[in-house]
Amino acid sequence: MKKLFYASFAYMLVGVGSGLFYREFTKLNDFPEGQFTQLGLAHTHLLTLGSIVLLIALTLEKAFTISNSKKLFDWFFGLYNAGVILTSAMLIAHGSLTVLGQESSSMIAGIAGLGHMLITAGMIVFFLALRRAVLRPAATQNVPIQAASA
């Protein structure tokens, strides 16, 4: 659970920082306000896919102890985080080039696509681990023990 919490917190910090970078970088380079750049999307990707999704995973972990399926959970965590980091990095790279008035290579789009595929694979593995946890017999789940009535 700590791993999910700290990763979510890190994404929140980086997400807020990327929003600040977007605002200041576009101002510094006199980029026209209202003109589209993928640089602004990194902020929302990091906050939503990074912080919020991992907070939801944390609540599901608390309820169902998904990490009992250690291999599946570790695969989810690695694939998903690699995908979010790769996708966000390519958004920042492509967006920065746009602000600077330079052309972006198709390699950046390809790597961003790979990042999206990793996110998708991570989510599929997460749902496999969640399914296993939800369908686990009730006796082995994290069920609060109620005191016997006297």
Contact, 51 vs 57, CB < 8 A?
A: no
Residue 146 in domain: no
Model confidence at 141: pLDDT above 70: no
| Residues near 81 by beta carbon (within 8 Å), at least 6 away in sequence | 7, 122
Residue 142 in domain: no
Q: Which phi-psi region, left, alpha or beta, contains residue 65 (left: φ > 0; alpha: ψ -120 to 50)? A: left
Residue 147 in domain: no
Q: Burial level of 102, CB count in 10 A (0-12/13-18/19+)?
A: exposed
Which residue reads 């008035």 in tokens? Answer: 101
Residue 66 in domain: yes
Residue 143 in domain: no
**Cα separations (Å) of 115 from 14, 80, 131?**
17, 9, 24
Model confidence at 147: pLDDT above 70: no
- The stretch 13-32 carries a mean pLDDT of 96
**How high does pLDDT run on average in the chain?**
92
pLDDT tens per residue, range 82-126:
999 999 999 999 999 999 999 989 999 999 999 999 999 999 999
Residue 110 in domain: yes
Residue 40 in domain: yes
pLDDT tens per residue, range 54-85:
999 999 999 999 999 999 999 999 999 999 99
- Which residue range is the domain that position 105 belongs to? 2-137
Domain count, the chain: 1
